[in-house]
Amino acid sequence: MQNRDNIKIKVSNLTKKFGDLLVLDNVSFEVRNREFLCVVGPTGCGKTTFLNTLTKLYEPTSGEILVNNEPVDLKRHNISYIFQEESTMPWLTVEKNVSFSLEIKRKTRAEIKKSVEEVLEMVGLTKFRHYYPNELSSSMLQRVVIARAFVTKPELLLMDEPYGQLDIELRFKLEDELLRIWKQTGTTVVFITHNIEEAVYLSERILVLSLKPSKVKKELVNHLPRPRNIIDKDFVTLRNQVTELIKWW
C-alpha cells in the first residue's frame, strides 16, 4: 500500500559522470517516511558518490531527486549527513562542534542551548563538552559527529559507513544506540556500508548496488524481528543471500 504522501525520497534515473567516467548508471528507488534503508555494495561501488549525488553535493549528470515531493534543496530540507571520513572541526570544542549545525541554521541562543544539552546527554558526551577533538579517542569523535547530526532533529539522515573503523564491541553498541535514536526521533535513515552483517542487522529494507558503474542490482525487504541475533538461522540466510549478490573476493 504505497500511498503518495508517505514517500520521503523518490529518486528516478539518477546518473553521475565524472568527465566520461560513468559512476552512477540510471539509479531509481524510493524510501518511505521513517524507514531505515541500508544500501550495500561491493568495494569500489562508488557509495560516497551515491550519497553525495543524492544530496546534490555532486551535481547529478541527469535524473531527479524528490524529498517530500519537492526537488531536494539543502537550504530548505532538514537533512543531516554523517561522512565516512572523520569530520569533527579541530578548532571547536565538543559543545561548539555540536552546536555548529544549529548556528548554521541560525537558531536562537536558547534553542541551541537546549537541543545541544539534550543531544550531548543522549550520546553520553556531557562530561566532555569543553574537550577539543585532538583530546578524544576515535569512538568519542564518532559520537560527536552523531550528536551534531541529530541535534537538528533531521527529517532525513544519511550515513556513509560511520562505524567502519571501530572494533566489534563498540560497533554493536553504537548500532543499537542508532536504532534507539532512530525509533525515538522517527527520522528516515539511509545507511550505506560495505559490511553486509551490519546492513542485515540494521535495515528494514536493503538496496544492493552493483560494481561501478553502479546500478540497483536488487531490493530486499528485511522481515527479521527485532532485536536481531547475528547467529540465528534466518539472519544468516539473509546475510548469505546478500553476500552472493555482492561477493567479488
91 binds another protein (CB under 8 A): yes
Residue range at the interface with another protein (CB under 8 A); choices 30-38, 63-71, 73-81, 210-218:
73-81
**Cell numbers describing residue 92:** 571547536
Indicate the residue among 91 and 110 with the shorter CB distance to another protein.
91
Residue with cell 547467529: 231
Nearest-5° Cα angle at 171, 166 to 176? 155
244 binds another protein (CB under 8 A): no
Residue range at the interface with another protein (CB under 8 A); choices 7-15, 28-36, 126-134, 182-190:
126-134
Q: Which of 2, 168, 221, 227 binds another protein (CB under 8 A)?
A: 168
Residues 42-71 binding another protein (CB under 8 A) are 42-43, 52, 55, 57
Q: For residues 171 and 42, give the distance between their C-alpha atoms in angstroms, rounded to a whole number.
A: 20
The candidate with the shortest Cα–Cα distance to 37, out of 209, 195, 158, is 158
Q: For residues 48 and 170, give the distance between their C-alpha atoms in angstroms, rounded to a whole number.
A: 23
| Minimum CB distance to another protein, residue 74 (Å) | 5
Which run of H or E residues covers position 18?
strand 7-18
Indicate the residue among 37 and 40 with the shorter CB distance to another protein.
40
Residues 200-229 binding another protein (CB under 8 A) are none
Q: For residues 8 and 156, give the distance between their C-alpha atoms in angstroms, rounded to a whole number.
A: 8
**Count of residues of this chain found to bind another protein when the rule CB under 8 A is applied:** 55
80 binds another protein (CB under 8 A): yes
